[in-house]
Structure 1
Amino acid sequence: MDTQTPPQECECGVQPSVFYLLATLLLTSCSTAMLCASIMTDHWEHVVWERAALAALANASSTTLQWLLDEKVAKIEHTGHRKGEGTFLVPMNGGIWTMCVSLEEEEVSILSRAGFPTQPVCTNYLADSEDDEPRADWQHRMQNLSISCALVCLIVLGSAALVGAFGVCKHQISAVLVTGVMYLLAGLFAMFTLMIIHFKRVQRTSTRGAHGDGTGDGVVGPQAPAYPLLAAREFSTAWSLELGWGGVVLATTTSLLWILLSKIMRYNPLSAMLL
């Protein structure tokens, strides 16, 4: 009598460690994209003018305001200047490097008829400041420090991507562990950048008063006539800052996943995980 051997079941199931590896790579991509997008975009803070407060300050200082673009922009005419010249109080949006006028090209074209510069107007925080006021100097130092932390974060993220790819492809446990540490450093420097921007904004709010905060954000043209009106500015954080905080949380989680992945690879080689 021929004995038939029962058919063997094919062990084609995917090991749970493979799903862990895929989840780690997916979260790594998300955290890297969020941090890079947060640093490179220019919506960390918005500068707007409170119209009621601006009108009250203008009346108190005997300043004549001309509202343009449905009261989106205010123009101050200067006595003794040629017709068309003046100071414009405009909304602005800024990132870590620059603060630029928040107007469309069509709106800039319309304002150019009233003397507004036709070229995009941006304030470069890396440029040397001619203002020797200690408060403004302190803010510029804080801004440069945030730029340095942001650049270090980008460098660490790029290096971590290369080291992580090498560790996964070549099954190098030490490289995987280093990747986890590097993502922790990237999240730390990103957090430094976010905290500096936060405290700089708190400083602006606390110094808001008759003399503003000593910076020219939101002012296009000679600043001296607009100086008493700077207290009407409002600084608010924007979506880039929130995206940065989300990136910090994901980067910290990613760091823990890479460190745990190195422990898994020590007892379960990556080649066995994928087979």
Structure 2
Amino acid sequence: MEAQTATPQTECDCGVHPSVFYLLATLLFTSCSTAMLCAAMMTEHWEHVAWERAALAALANTSNTVLHWLLDDKVAKVEVANNRKGGGGTFLVPMNGGIWTMCVSLEEEEVMILSRAGFPQEPLCTNYLANSEDEEPRADWQHRMQNLSISCAMVCLIVLGSAALVGTFGVCKHQISAVLVTGVMYLLAGLFAMFTLMIIHFKRIQRVSTRSSSHGDDTADGVVGPRIAALPLLSAREFTTSWSLELGWGGVALATTTSLLWILLSKIMRYNPISTMLL
């Protein structure tokens, strides 16, 4: 009678722990919120400056100025009616700006065409961080608001970079406290990003409320060349927000969600370490 040797069958549990999917979702939300906030802070489409043609025509008739429309009515050249001079001049142009800069919304070919009409050869972008003595002075309230928005944006970017390092360390080294701190840091990043968005919003309200006065907002946004000739026409400017602001609000919502996910991840890791999740 042959002895039958029982060979034990080893069962292979190849299932994935549910916590792994939660970890992957947390990392996905982290990447999306970080990318959205960084893109919103670094892009230059927070606000657009445009000119109302009907309002410009009405103001030009009452201010002794003449308008010459160029580039299919995209740009207007301003000249004083009783003192027309060749070359140079003041140009009313569309502009787009971010937290740090304000740039002319024209292509290089369009700038070359305008140069034949006396368009000034000067930098097409104004950097708010550069303290140039030749730069046009901005209104005191606008200067303070701009500095606040820049400060909040820089703090947000610094917190995002630090959170990425702390989060990587916490996940790789199984440090629950580092994971919890990452959640708090993303909450702070979303908070400072919200401050930036609110400051830009209130600055917009201030500009709209002072629009009825030609000297209520006498900054050079939208004006290239001598600003004196364009002073009577400044109330025809339109300030509108653009897609960078909407991207920022989306980033704030995702950053808040990401913060909650990291905080819950620290609770999960307390009872299910990542080493056991992946096995």
Q: Same fold (TM over 0.5)?
A: yes
Q: Is residue 101–residue 120 contact of structure 1 (8 Å, CA) maintained in 2?
A: no
Matches within 5 A, 1:1-275: 2=4, 7-78=9-80, 80=83, 82-126=85-129, 127=131, 131=137, 136-211=139-214, 212-275=216-279
Q: Is residue 49–residue 234 contact of structure 1 (8 Å, CA) maintained in 2?
A: yes
Give the CA deviation at 1:123: 2.3
Q: Residues of 1 paired with 2:84 and 2:224: CA distance?
A: 16
Q: Is residue 139–residue 200 contact of structure 1 (8 Å, CA) maintained in 2?
A: yes
Q: Residues of 2 paired with 1:21 and 1:84: CA distance?
A: 64
**Range with bigger deviation, 92-101 or 81-90:** 81-90
* 1:152-193 CA-partner distances (Å, limit 9, x unpaired): 000000000000000000000000000000000000000000
Q: Residues of 2 paired with 1:160 and 1:61: CA distance?
A: 55
Q: Residues of 2 paired with 1:210 and 1:139: CA distance?
A: 16
Tell me the matched-pair count. Answer: 272
Give the CA deviation at 1:4: 5.8
Give the CA deviation at 1:63: 1.1
Give the CA deviation at 1:130: 5.7
Q: Is residue 136–residue 219 contact of structure 2 (8 Å, CA) maintained in 1?
A: no
Q: TM-score by structure 1 length?
A: 0.94
Q: Give the AA of the match of 1:269.
A: P
Q: Is residue 60–residue 67 contact of structure 2 (8 Å, CA) maintained in 1?
A: yes
Q: Residues of 1 paired with 2:229 and 2:121: CA distance?
A: 22
Q: Give the AA of the match of 1:267.
A: Y
Aligned to 2:65, what secondary structure does the other structure show?
coil
The RMSD of aligned alpha carbons is 1.7
Q: TM-score by structure 2 length?
A: 0.93
Q: Give the AA of the match of 2:207.
A: R
Q: Residues of 2 paired with 1:41 and 1:223: CA distance?
A: 27
Q: Give the AA of the match of 1:68.
A: L
* 1:91-111 CA-partner distances (Å, limit 9, x unpaired): 000000111100000000000
Give the CA deviation at 1:75: 0.3
Aligned to 2:78, what secondary structure does the other structure show?
strand
Q: Residues of 2 paired with 1:64 and 1:240: CA distance?
A: 35
Give the CA deviation at 1:10: 2.1
Q: Is residue 31–residue 248 contact of structure 1 (8 Å, CA) maintained in 2?
A: yes
Give the CA deviation at 1:82: 4.4
Aligned to 2:171, what secondary structure does the other structure show?
helix
Q: Residues of 2 paired with 1:22 and 1:10: CA distance?
A: 24
* 1:226-270 CA-partner distances (Å, limit 9, x unpaired): 111111100000000000000000000000000000000001111
